[in-house]
């Protein structure tokens, strides 16, 4: 273990043997840091935070601070960060609220770039990428492998699907389906994230099936419920197509057509 002499580590914190803590960092009570983690100088991990192995926290990051919610009354809530996560300078991740389930979660292998913000009760899957200054309001859910461009702002309770790519400067006020490419002042779908799907190793058959389902849902004026039924009849019955249609069908905030 390597802890700089100017760092402050609470006696109730638990650090694995090979953790590095930089100058003037602050580690608060009931913080658990797994093996291989590097905590940069002047980072603050306030309290009730669990960090998975080989995660790196860059300087000036704030983790586990109180949720920015007027309903929060000091309840014991938590932040959980997965393994091999990269959290860049000045990013802020807040703990959950009792009303929202009590836990904010970031999955394994995520990249949260400088000045990004993950608010209370957000749930991030694996390999999510948030570019510089992305801001998530409370209770946002982001599925695996989604990517958000710089300065994207996401409304509370919004759901972003897996492998969705959101262009920079977009405002996300409705749910964005998996596998899609979305952007705009009020983000709308502009097609499939074809390049991302190819890079991820999706087969041509799967991409063509998703394109067919996408066209039925987003390229005609059929009422949504009928369009979903039509897509189930006409598009190949693949797991990705089922996920795409079920996401749209279960959306609480609606999807932008």
Q: Is 243 a catalytic residue?
A: no
Q: Is 190 a catalytic residue?
A: no
Query: Among residues 22, 138, 161, 196, which one is catalytic?
Result: 138
Query: Among residues 117, 120, 139, 155, which one is catalytic?
Result: 120
Query: Among residues 69, 108, 109, 121, which one is catalytic?
Result: 121
Cβ pair 147, 160 in contact under 8 A: no
Q: Is 175 a catalytic residue?
A: no
**What are the residue numbers of the active site?**
120-121, 138
């Amino acid at each position: 273990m390597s802890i700089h002499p100017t760092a402050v580590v609470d006696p109730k914190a638990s650090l694995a043997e090979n953790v590095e803590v930089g100058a003037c960092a602050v580690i608060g009570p009931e913080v658990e840091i797994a093996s291989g983690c590097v905590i940069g100088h002047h980072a603050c991990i306030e309290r009730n935070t669990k960090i998975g192995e080989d995660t790196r926290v860059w300087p000036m990051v704030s983790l586990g601070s109180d949720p920015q919610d007027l309903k929060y009354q000091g309840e014991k809530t938590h932040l959980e960060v997965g393994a091999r996560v990269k959290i860049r300078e000045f990013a802020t991740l807040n703990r959950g609220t009792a009303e929202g389930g009590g836990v904010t979660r970031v999955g394994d292998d995520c990249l949260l770039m400088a000045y990004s913000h993950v608010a209370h009760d957000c749930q991030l899957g694996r390999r999510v990428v948030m570019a510089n200054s992305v801001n998530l309001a409370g209770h946002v859910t982001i599925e695996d492998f989604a990517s958000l461009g710089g300065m994207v702002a996401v409304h509370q309770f919004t759901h972003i699907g897996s492998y969705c790519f959101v262009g920079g400067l977009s405002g996300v006020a409705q749910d964005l389906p998996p596998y899609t490419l979305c952007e705009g002042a009020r983000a709308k779908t502009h097609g499939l994230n074809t390049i991302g799907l190819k890079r991820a190793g999706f087969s041509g058959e799967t991409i063509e099936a998703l394109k067919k389902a996408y066209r039925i849902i987003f390229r005609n004026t059929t009422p949504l419920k009928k369009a979903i039924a039509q897509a189930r009849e006409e598009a190949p019955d693949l797991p990705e197509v089922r996920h795409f249609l079920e996401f749209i069908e279960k959306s609480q905030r609606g999807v932008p057509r």
